[in-house]
Structure 1
Amino acid sequence: MAVSTSSAARLCRLAGRTVTSLTARHRRGVSLPESICYISTSTGSNLQFKLDERTAHSSLDLFKKDTGVIYRMLGLDPSHVQDNPERFRDWAVVFGDEKISSGRHYWEVTVKKSQQFRVGVAEALMSREDCVGTNSSSWVFGYAQRKWFAMTSNKMVPVTLVGKPDRVGILVDYEAGLVGLVDTEKPRIIHSIRVQFKTPICPAFGLWDGDMLTHSGLEEPEGLK
């Protein structure tokens, strides 16, 4: 059963909004351009991407050639971060620098050093005032309070997963409308979100403690459906 909208919103407020997001500067509305320039559009099966610093909230630092992200509680003073409409202002979110408009794609994320995060995909033009999972433009799997959940449109569905793996996979099939959370050891799809994609999407990440490391350019494991 899905968690109520009010409960989901409360958890997102507690888990997602950073200390620096409460300033008047951060509440300022930002309009995205009609077209965001990403490095390329991937249509093959071996999607390869880095994290896009232009989208990263000021509490997030990228490392390991922009494939990893670490959370800083206080972060940078927003006035010291380059001002652009692609950057998330209120939430600790960062996008991958590739957008997907077709095909089947797979990547993995090392999550062993975080206890509070979200991984999945979002529309490339998603509002930078929202958090991934809180609107109809993003589809993510999250971990918080020692529990997994699938989240979109501010509704959370519990995901049955024993323990917390060091690394998880994300499988996306654009035409089939599938976003799957993958057990990398089996491998198998643990839980899937069904959606009808209408615009290009990007790998999307939210992080509120520790760090994460992305692994792209991978072959899809055999046996996933």
Structure 2
Amino acid sequence: MASAADLRDELSCSICLSIYTDPVSLPCDHNFCRGCIETTWDTQEASGAYSCPECRQEFKERPALPRNRTLRNIAERFLSAEPEPGDTGIPCTYCDSHVPAVKSCLHCEASVCNKHLRMHSKSEKHVLIEPTLDMGHKKCSVHDEPLKYYCWEESVCICESCCLPGEHRGHRVELLSEASEKKKEKLRKVLEKLRPEREREETEREAQRLQERRREVAEKAAGETERVTALFRDIREQLEALEKRLLRDISSQKEKLSFTLTDLMEQLEIKKDELSRKIRHIEELCNMADPLTVLQERESHGAADNEGGRERHDIKVPAVGDLDVDLISETLLTGLAAIVTGVKGRIYGQEATDLLLDINTAANNVSVSEDRKSASYSHTELHYPQSPERFQLVPQALSSRSFPSGRHYWEVEVSESEDWGVGVAFPTIERGGDQSIIGNNKKSWCLYRWDKNNRYTVAHDRKDTHLPHAPSCSRIRIWLDYEAGRLSFYELSEPIRHLHTFTATFTEPLHAAVYLHDDGAWVRILK
């Protein structure tokens, strides 16, 4: 059965923590005092949204507040049944149960009314406190004496016997009243720090900013959902169109072959009929008794009347073509490739299919392939022509193409051992010294692979971030959204794994960049 304390909790407003006054109900079925919820919503009005203090459900418009009459009646009855001021609800131990106690004695462990209080012993052993049913927490658990002092070293309340030479000897001990006042003073200082309007206003502003951020995320998610849905709808339409085209091609080839075969079958039937007619005619001649008629027959019937001759009547069926499966397969692959290319264009924007390395930027210890797609570390000096764009000593190179705007991606294949780096850089990056290493300055961003710990590391402005991922694939995709200020790295494993995304404000065109640390390191641009 619920106690009075439990019932009080159920009938208390969670804002003011008091019994409901004019309770109202929200659309989410939570109840509050009308004045409490209206004051709360007045502070939320600037944010443009209202929420329930209990479940945080939001309402775009300020809801109506219908009065909860049933809850009001219960609250009023509960209040009327509560004891009057001064009535503790604890009965006198020596009187009838309806006589309230005004004090409790820790020594006697009894509660007394005014009448018995006058008769109670005035001895110091009899410590009187406010009426209570639970006197255990008011007495020392060791000596069973009233708690009178507070030990600051142990942060516990103690009795008089605890102060005798023993475990609290030498400790700072004060009367409970004095210690209580000092603790109250500390709490007041804490309260003063929490109370200023500035703190509350800043908290409210932070809450509004988070709420705005949540709305932005929701809007972006809705936009991406719509974009992906439209993309897949378009892909399905293109696939259905390709399927219909292939089925039409197969049906057309089948009809052409069927027509040819039907024509040949008709020709064979004619030859078959002609052969049957000849056979019947020859049989008739063979059965004739008149030799003159047999010999005067001039029709060419293939009789073997030439010396040693024999005429064959074999029927030759001309070769008939088959379905052009290669053409069907090529149409299928070409169609699918066109769909994939279109999808990539819609996702990534302009594709960096012509990305080449600029040999004029390659350091003398970087060997660039003839097609300018690959770079590898060269232990011997290559003695390239002098160029102001060329990196000095640092084994790296930039692409000839730059990206001043738009969305792009390119893929690279990298050596599975030794150290390498791939990323992007502004054209104004330094060309000599450690400050020119990509990722080691404010003008470049890089993904590294270090062989010594077989881990990925990303770097920018001399700040390294070690990633938890161990390399599991030799192909890396780099994705750039210039306007959004996003540079992402993906490992083209199965499944594709996102490694890291830089966010920045790009102020110059970006060039693809490669770094080769030592012998055996190489990078090849795939597309």
Tell me the number of residue pairs that the alignment of Structure 1 and Structure 2 aligns. 171
- Cα distance in structure 1, aligned partners of 2:486 and 2:417: 25
Q: Is the 8 A contact 2:363 2:390 kept in 1?
A: yes
Q: Is the 8 A contact 1:113 1:212 kept in 2?
A: no
Identity of aligned residues (%): 27
Query: For the aligned residues, what is the CA RMSD?
Result: 1.7
Q: Is the 8 A contact 1:68 1:212 kept in 2?
A: yes
State the Cα distance separating 1:114 from its structure 2 match. Answer: 4.2
State the Cα distance separating 1:188 from its structure 2 match. Answer: 4.2
1:134 aligns with 2:437: no
State the Cα distance separating 1:75 from its structure 2 match. Answer: 2.7
- Equivalent in the alignment of 1:38: none
- Equivalent in the alignment of 2:359: 53
- Cα distance in structure 2, aligned partners of 1:100 and 1:167: 22
The range that moved more, 180-189 or 139-148, is 180-189
State the Cα distance separating 1:215 from its structure 2 match. Answer: 1.5
- Equivalent in the alignment of 1:24: none
Q: Is the 8 A contact 2:421 2:516 kept in 1?
A: yes
- Equivalent in the alignment of 2:498: 189
Q: Give, as a single letter, the amino acid of the residue that structure 2 aligns with 1:117.
A: W
Give the structure with the larger strand fraction.
1
State the Cα distance separating 1:182 from its structure 2 match. Answer: 0.6
Task: Describe the shift of the 1:75–1:154 C-alpha distance in structure 2 as closer, same or farther (beyond 3 A).
Answer: same
Q: Which runs of 5+ in 1 are unaligned?
A: 1-42, 217-225
- Cα distance in structure 1, aligned partners of 2:496 and 2:471: 16
The C-alpha deviation readout for 1:118-176, integer Å capped at 9, x for no partner, is 10100022111211111000001001122211101111001121334211111111011
State the Cα distance separating 1:193 from its structure 2 match. Answer: 1.0
Q: Is the 8 A contact 2:365 2:393 kept in 1?
A: no
- Equivalent in the alignment of 1:215: 526
- Cα distance in structure 2, aligned partners of 1:122 and 1:150: 14
The C-alpha deviation readout for 1:90-129, integer Å capped at 9, x for no partner, is 2001001101111111111111344201101000221112
- Equivalent in the alignment of 1:23: none
- Equivalent in the alignment of 2:390: 87
Q: Is the 8 A contact 1:117 1:206 kept in 2?
A: yes
- Equivalent in the alignment of 1:175: 483
The C-alpha deviation readout for 1:45-104, integer Å capped at 9, x for no partner, is 21121111000000011115010011112332xxx3211100001200100110111111
- Equivalent in the alignment of 2:41: none
Q: Give, as a single letter, the amino acid of the residue that structure 1 aligns with 2:351.
A: N
- Cα distance in structure 2, aligned partners of 1:167 and 1:124: 25
- Cα distance in structure 2, aligned partners of 1:57 and 1:109: 20
- Equivalent in the alignment of 1:19: none
- Equivalent in the alignment of 1:39: none
Task: Describe the shift of the 1:147–1:113 C-alpha distance in structure 2 as closer, same or farther (beyond 3 A).
Answer: closer
1:158 aligns with 2:463: no
- Cα distance in structure 1, aligned partners of 2:471 and 2:400: 31
TM-score (norm 1): 0.72
TM-score (norm 2): 0.31
Q: Give, as a single letter, the amino acid of the residue that structure 2 aligns with 1:45.
A: Q
Given the alignment, which residue of 426, 444, 449 partners 1:143?
A: 449
Task: Describe the shift of the 1:152–1:125 C-alpha distance in structure 2 as closer, same or farther (beyond 3 A).
Answer: same
1:111 aligns with 2:420: no
Q: Give, as a single letter, the amino acid of the residue that structure 1 aligns with 2:526.
A: H
- Cα distance in structure 2, aligned partners of 1:202 and 1:163: 25
SS in 2 for 1:54: coil
Equivalences for residues 193-204 of structure 1 within 5 A: 193-204=502-513
Q: Is the 8 A contact 1:118 1:142 kept in 2?
A: yes
The C-alpha deviation readout for 1:161-200, integer Å capped at 9, x for no partner, is 1334211111111011111111213334221111110011
- Cα distance in structure 1, aligned partners of 2:364 and 2:476: 25
The range that moved more, 141-150 or 181-190, is 181-190
SS in 2 for 1:161: coil
Q: Is the 8 A contact 2:363 2:395 kept in 1?
A: yes
Q: Give, as a single letter, the amino acid of the residue that structure 2 aligns with 1:51.
A: L
Q: Is the 8 A contact 1:112 1:167 kept in 2?
A: no
Q: Is the 8 A contact 1:114 1:212 kept in 2?
A: no
Task: Describe the shift of the 1:201–1:141 C-alpha distance in structure 2 as closer, same or farther (beyond 3 A).
Answer: same
- Cα distance in structure 1, aligned partners of 2:424 and 2:465: 17
- Cα distance in structure 1, aligned partners of 2:471 and 2:440: 25
Q: Is the 8 A contact 1:112 1:165 kept in 2?
A: no
SS in 2 for 1:127: coil
Q: Which runs of 5+ in 2 are unaligned?
A: 1-347
- Equivalent in the alignment of 1:63: 369
- Cα distance in structure 2, aligned partners of 1:182 and 1:135: 23
- Cα distance in structure 2, aligned partners of 1:114 and 1:97: 27
- Could you say which structure has the larger radius of gyration? 2
